[in-house]
Structure 1
Amino acid sequence: MMLYLTLPLMALCATVGGISLDKRSKCPPSKEWDIMKLTQSWPPAVCIYLQNEKKKCDISSNITSWVIHGLWPTQTGTECPNFCRDDWKFNLTQVQALRPRLDFNWPSIDFDGKPEYSWTHEWEKHGTCGATLPAIKDELDYFNVTLGLHEHFNLSLILQKSGMNPSAKNAYKAKDFMTAFKKGLGVAPSVTCVKDKEDEKFYIEQVEICLNKDFKPIDCQSYQSAPVEDLLFKPESWLQGGRVDEGVLRDVLIDCGSDSDVVYYKPMPSKQRKVLA
């Protein structure tokens, strides 16, 4: 018997990469998209987000690098489309051959969640929209392609080559991360940080690499003409300067503080499996 996994009610509270799964963006009927966003998260910073929300996080001892949040077909300047095929539910059996790679590269960091919940969400919200592309026509293709892209664009290695390693002591400027990513990728991604409510420090949390439909990296919107120094502020500061419109703001460097703030690259917990409250 085929096993069809759908999102049970308990999964609606699950969180992936700092984003609640129960939020459906309001999108127009059109399912058109022109770019994809390969979104990767840094587990220790995801834990900060969860702890800010009074939730527990769980980083398995075998997790040593950046993990996948998702691959998102996107119409430039929007957060759409999403949930393109309500009749196409996630079928766990279709990706069983990928299970070892999925468990390692696409785990759940939320202590109360299971990876199957996030895989279900990512397929039904994003994968069904990308299935118009022959290379990702079904669940197996979507997850296999995403895994391959994640393994190819190795963010840990990119940062390491620029001398940036996880550390509780080393502090960087947001532009240092942007410079390292642009050097390693050849394009400028979109970066999100999280501010710890306890120590009030900023930590790098998530990176979105923008791709065309041939899976080639491209500059994320807003970076093409902006100097690195202009990418350090929250979107509100861009509005005040009148330099870009609201549609563009979704793709700039988010919540990494001002030019005077430093950003940390939080290290992994000890090799013992830890549940952080």
Structure 2
Amino acid sequence: MHRSLLPLLVSLSPAILFLLPGIIVTQEGLWEDYKYGHGDLDNHNFCTWKCLLFTLQWPGTFCQSLNNVSLCRIPPTVNNWTIHGLWPLHAKNRCDCWPMFPSDVQELKAELTELWPSFVRFKSNFHFWREEWRKHGACAACVEGMNSPLRYFQVCVKLRARFNIHSLLEDAGITPSCERPYKVKVNKSNSDLGKDFSKPLMSSLPVEEVQSVLAPHVGDKLEIQCITDEQDRELWFQLKIRLNRNLTVGCDLCTDAEDAPKIQPGSRPVPSPGHPCPDRVPFYYFPINHERPQRPCG
């Protein structure tokens, strides 16, 4: 059955909606089928992808990623890494035929509001969630464990709990700061640490290695992603964790350069796709500033 008909069919009565030769579909059965998905989607030929990117974003620098920073806001309840999305890589077809409604994720609304908020003023949380489902979740739905909006978002919430980035960094002494720089990784020779960087360090504090802290927990295929601000500083913006279809870490069958959300031209404040933080250039892990999210460090 074409999925775009399901919401209409679910709203119909009586209890038996229609009959086909040898098939009886009840309202209750159809709703359960719509809510929890089908188990045979992985047989479809569009399920060709092998890897997923679980992408987390850091609210402290999200506003700097927008073309129009004035339309950015950080809810006062947000003090941690948040979800950007779970993206199948190299999916050959994007399925726009499976709509998503607020009722699909009603039981997860509180958790999603905390863990997956929108930081753009004109975009509601549900708008953000629906956008991610349409662009990425519907393609992930060929895997039985993610074969409905509810299941897809449940998986994302569980992944966010599994990868508690803030705690991992804090335990290693890596905390948000306006002055202290960090590095993706330290080169074998550290004799030139603090030299030959594109910009001088703002602090004499030691530059800590971030990749070595995170890799044992999220796999060595992680991408630490930066944006460049108006002062040419590299700011930590996102973390991309590569997963296999069974959600184990470290899928190495593909590259993700072409799989970030595509940026469309125009005046609307769309987020920058960012870039991998350079190995030899220190980056900054800015604190969250709810009152001045556009300029957390001045």
Corresponding letter in the other structure for 2:210:
F
Tell me if 1:72 matches 2:87: yes
Question: 2:277 is matched with which residue?
Answer: 256
CA contact under 8 A between 2:117 and 2:125: conserved in structure 1? yes
Q: What is the DSSP-based 3-state SS (H/G/I as helix, E as strand, rest coil) of the residue aligned with 2:275? A: coil
Do the aligned partners of residues 248 and 105 (structure 1) sit closer, same or farther apart at CA in structure 2, a change above 3 Å counting? closer
Tell me if 1:266 matches 2:286: yes
Larger Rg: 2
Provide the C-alpha distance between the structure 1 equivalents of 2:219 and 2:278, rounded to a whole number of angstroms. 24
Measured after TM superposition, the shift of residue 249 of structure 1 is 5.1
Corresponding letter in the other structure for 2:119:
I
Measured after TM superposition, the shift of residue 117 of structure 1 is 1.3
Q: Which runs of 5+ in 1 are unaligned?
A: 4-28, 223-246
Question: 2:115 is matched with which residue?
Answer: 105
Measured after TM superposition, the shift of residue 213 of structure 1 is 1.6
Match for residue 163 of structure 1 among 146, 168, 173: 173
Tell me if 1:209 matches 2:241: yes
Do the aligned partners of residues 275 and 94 (structure 1) sit closer, same or farther apart at CA in structure 2, a change above 3 Å counting? same
Provide the C-alpha distance between the structure 1 equivalents of 2:92 and 2:54, rounded to a whole number of angstroms. 15
The C-alpha deviation readout for 1:29-71, integer Å capped at 9, x for no partner, is 9541001111100011111112x54442111111011000011
Corresponding letter in the other structure for 1:113:
K
Do the aligned partners of residues 41 and 267 (structure 1) sit closer, same or farther apart at CA in structure 2, a change above 3 Å counting? same
Tell me if 1:57 matches 2:89: no
Question: 1:45 is matched with which residue?
Answer: 61
Q: Residues 1-277 of structure 1: matches in 2 within 5 Å?
A: 30-50=46-66, 52-75=67-90, 80-81=91-92, 83-84=94-95, 86-175=96-185, 176-197=209-230, 199-218=231-250, 254-257=275-278, 259=280, 261-269=281-289, 276=294
Provide the C-alpha distance between the structure 2 equivalents of 1:61 and 1:220, rounded to a whole number of angstroms. 38
Q: Which runs of 5+ in 2 are unaligned?
A: 1-6, 9-44, 186-208, 260-273
Greater than 3 Å deviation, 4+ residue runs: 52-55, 219-222, 247-251, 273-277
Question: 1:238 is matched with which residue?
Answer: none
In the superposition, the TM-score normalised over structure 1's length comes to 0.71
Do the aligned partners of residues 164 and 219 (structure 1) sit closer, same or farther apart at CA in structure 2, a change above 3 Å counting? farther
Q: What is the DSSP-based 3-state SS (H/G/I as helix, E as strand, rest coil) of the residue aligned with 1:191? A: strand
Provide the C-alpha distance between the structure 2 equivalents of 1:213 and 1:189, rounded to a whole number of angstroms. 16
Provide the C-alpha distance between the structure 2 equivalents of 1:196 and 1:72, rounded to a whole number of angstroms. 26
Q: RMSD of the TM alignment (CA)?
A: 2.7
Provide the C-alpha distance between the structure 2 equivalents of 1:126 and 1:177, rounded to a whole number of angstroms. 28
Corresponding letter in the other structure for 1:59:
I
Do the aligned partners of residues 129 and 181 (structure 1) sit closer, same or farther apart at CA in structure 2, a change above 3 Å counting? same
CA contact under 8 A between 2:184 and 2:277: conserved in structure 1? yes
Corresponding letter in the other structure for 1:136:
M
Corresponding letter in the other structure for 2:52:
M
Corresponding letter in the other structure for 1:35:
C
Provide the C-alpha distance between the structure 2 equivalents of 1:44 and 1:57, rounded to a whole number of angstroms. 11
Corresponding letter in the other structure for 1:83:
R
CA contact under 8 A between 2:64 and 2:294: conserved in structure 1? no
Q: What is the DSSP-based 3-state SS (H/G/I as helix, E as strand, rest coil) of the residue aligned with 2:210? A: helix
Corresponding letter in the other structure for 2:63:
C
Q: Report percent identity of matched pairs.
A: 29
In the superposition, the TM-score normalised over structure 2's length comes to 0.66
Corresponding letter in the other structure for 2:285:
Y
Corresponding letter in the other structure for 1:42:
W
CA contact under 8 A between 1:178 and 1:188: conserved in structure 2? no
Corresponding letter in the other structure for 2:49:
W
Count the aligned residue pairs: 217
CA contact under 8 A between 2:50 and 2:253: conserved in structure 1? no
Do the aligned partners of residues 205 and 55 (structure 1) sit closer, same or farther apart at CA in structure 2, a change above 3 Å counting? same
